[in-house]
């Protein structure tokens, strides 16, 4: 009887572990509906952290994670997480406008970036101070999370690099922030 009970307990615990692992990442498919509060549970390491401020207003904290703890700018097949924790309220419309402005700064043709704006408009909510918006890139898919809950996917392979270039391109408008995110300065 005790042996039977032990077998049941082991099976239940084993099933829970297997189910949790399957819900996190399953082979080549993204199946994460909710990110854990501690992103290291996904076996990602911090590359760098940065705070974006304008004059004396703190706008957001950002953190870049990869599985190796390094970011290879030209390696678009690398899985990564990029999380922004907002320190002030911002509307979805303002977020879209600022994103387009940054793409323009990078000389991305409007024809290239404008095709993503409708999708982003449906994905991004209005932001309140304390909210987190996270991008998870895996297998050249871009999955957005709002406060760790999945809110949308952009499947075009070029999108993730285009989006991350806002912060990580050598031509970004925020070179100090880039250095901090890449772990070049603390």
Confidence of residue 75 (pLDDT cuts 50, 70, 90): low
**168-175 long-range contacts, CB within 8 A, separation 24+:** 168/64, 168/71, 168/73, 169/73, 169/106, 170/73, 171/105, 171/106, 171/107, 172/102, 172/105, 172/106, 173/102, 173/105, 174/52
Per-residue model confidence as pLDDT tens digits over 119-133: 999 999 999 999 999
Q: Mean per-residue pLDDT for 82-110?
A: 97
Question: In the predicted model, is pLDDT for residue 27 greater than 80?
Answer: no
Confidence band, pLDDT 50/70/90 cuts, at residue 157? confident
- What is the overall mean pLDDT for the chain? 85
Query: How many Å apart are CA 3 and CA 120, to the nearest integer?
Result: 55
Q: For the chain, give the percent of residues with pLDDT over 70.
A: 81
> Which of residues 120 and 157 earns the better pLDDT score?
120
pLDDT at 32: 81
For residues 9 and 126, the model is more confident at 126
Query: Which residues in 30-51 are b (16+ Cβ under 10 Å) and which e?
Result: bebeebeeebeebebeebbebe
Sign of CA dihedral 87, 90, 92, 96: negative
| This prediction's pTM | 0.82
Pick the CATH number of 32-181 from 3.30.70.600, 3.40.50.2300, 3.40.50.1820, 3.50.70.10: 3.50.70.10
Give the domain ranges of the chain: 1-31, 32-181
The Cα-based distances of 133 to 60, 69, 110, 149 in angstroms read 10, 20, 24, 9
Can you tell me which residue has the tokens 């999370």? Answer: 145
């Amino acid at each position: 009887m005790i042996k039977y009970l032990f077998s049941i307990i082991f099976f239940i615990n084993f099933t829970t572990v297997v189910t949790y692992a399957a819900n996190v990442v399953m082979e080549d498919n993204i199946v994460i509906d909710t990110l854990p509060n501690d992103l290291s549970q996904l076996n990602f390491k911090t590359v760098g952290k940065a705070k974006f401020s304008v004059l004396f207003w703190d706008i957001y904290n950002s953190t870049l994670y990869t599985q190796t703890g390094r970011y290879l700018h030209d390696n678009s097949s690398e899985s990564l997480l990029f999380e922004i924790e907002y320190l002030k309220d911002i509307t979805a419309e303002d977020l879209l406008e600022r994103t387009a402005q940054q793409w323009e700064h990078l000389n991305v043709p409007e024809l290239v970036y404008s095709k993503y704006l409708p999708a982003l408009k449906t994905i991004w909510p209005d932001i309140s101070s304390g909210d987190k918006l996270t991008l998870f890139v895996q297998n050249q898919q871009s999955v957005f999370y709002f406060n760790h809950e999945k809110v949308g996917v952009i499947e075009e392979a070029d999108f993730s690099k285009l989006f991350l270039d806002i912060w990580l391109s050598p031509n970004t408008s925020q070179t100090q922030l880039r250095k901090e995110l890449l772990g070049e300065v603390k």
